[in-house]
């Protein structure tokens, strides 16, 4: 059975001591999680120290971004090799805040995805439309454009190391969440894109996460929605209790699926 994911994106929150205390508490909170892949994506400053803790657990470490070059004169950037040396297994790419605030283009995100795969990192590729694009009925068009660019010339053999996250920009940090029907439509379209480019088997095996104001109060309903294979969680991942409750929702759903 495909393992679902609960990934925490802390964004620019938590200094090193706060990150370490959270991680120590979380590892105790999640001692009985067996069916869900849990991923923590802290700020760069905390990666190595958190990685040292997580190496003794079943929780994975992820980064929030990387640069597409191996090394060089790129002040303030971080390379895939640096992430690997800090114990990272995953890396978030194409988050809407990178696309819209930092003006990362589809072409740059494609280069980053290839670089992550080259170094054995598992990219979590974010796709999603703005409110204006949704109101103009361009959601599926936007998803196709972002997907096609990112996975251009990516071999099917690399897909097992890739994760996709649908994150409607209008639902990120706003408290507004996509309805189950809205999320299901987008996830279904993304899975069709994978099937068209590769195979039905590749599409079925691809883990497609939902992100956008996920919290304990809506996690049960969302995780039971067709084609949602877990969550990429922002604000609700900053507290142990709320993130732990969302992880438990995913775990409980997976347990029911086994019976």
CA torsion sign for 110, 105, 234, 85 is: positive
H helices of 76-152, where?
A: 80-85, 96-100, 106-118, 131-135, 139-150
From CA 18, how far away is CA 65, in angstroms rounded?
21
pLDDT in tens, the chain (259 residues): 899 999 999 999 999 999 999 999 999 999 999 999 999 999 999 999 999 999 999 999 999 999 999 999 999 999 999 999 999 999 999 999 999 999 999 999 999 999 999 999 999 999 999 989 999 999 999 999 999 999 999 999 999 999 999 999 988 878 877 899 999 999 999 999 999 999 999 999 999 999 989 999 999 999 999 999 999 999 999 999 999 999 999 999 999 998 7
Which of 216, 210, 206 is CA-nearest to residue 228? Answer: 210
DSSP letter assigned to residue 121: -
Mean pLDDT of all residues belonging to the chain:
96
Which of 74, 108, 67, 66 is CA-nearest to residue 91? Answer: 66
Topology of domain 4-258 in CATH is TIM Barrel (3.20.20)
Burial (Cβ within 10 Å: 0-12, 13-18, ≥19) of residue 153: exposed
SS3 state of residue 231: strand
Catalytic residue among 104, 129, 167, 251: 167
95 is annotated as an active-site residue: yes
Catalytic residue among 67, 95, 110, 187: 95
For the chain, the domains span 4-258
């Amino acid at each position: 059975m495909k393992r679902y994911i609960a990934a925490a994106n802390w964004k620019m929150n938590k200094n090193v001591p706060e990150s370490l205390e959270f991680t120590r508490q979380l590892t105790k909170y999640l001692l009985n999680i067996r069916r869900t892949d849990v991923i923590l994506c802290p700020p760069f400053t905390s990666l190595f120290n958190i990685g040292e803790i997580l190496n003794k657990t079943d929780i994975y470490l992820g980064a929030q971004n990387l640069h597409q070059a191996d090394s060089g004169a790129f002040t303030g950037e971080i390379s895939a090799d640096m992430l690997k040396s800090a114990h990272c297994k995953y890396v978030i790419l194409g988050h809407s805040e990178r696309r819209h605030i930092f003006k990362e283009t589809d072409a740059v995100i494609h280069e980053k995805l290839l670089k992550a795969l080259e170094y054995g990192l598992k990219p979590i590729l974010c796709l999603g439309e703005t409110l204006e694009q949704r109101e103009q009925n361009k959601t599926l068009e936007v998803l196709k454009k972002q997907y096609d660019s990112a996975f251009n010339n990516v071999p099917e053999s690399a897909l097992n190391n890739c994760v996709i996250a649908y994150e409607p920009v209008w639902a990120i940090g706003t408290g507004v969440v996509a309805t189950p029907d809205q999320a299901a439509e987008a996830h279904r379209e993304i899975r069709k894109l994978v099937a068209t480019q590769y195979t039905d088997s590749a599409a079925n095996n691809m883990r497609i996460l939902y992100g956008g104001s996920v919290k304990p109060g809506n996690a049960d309903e969302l995780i039971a929605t067709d084609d949602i294979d877990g969550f990429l969680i922002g604000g609700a991942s900053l507290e142990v209790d709320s993130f732990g409750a969302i992880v438990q929702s995913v775990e409980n759903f997976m347990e029911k699926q086994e019976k």
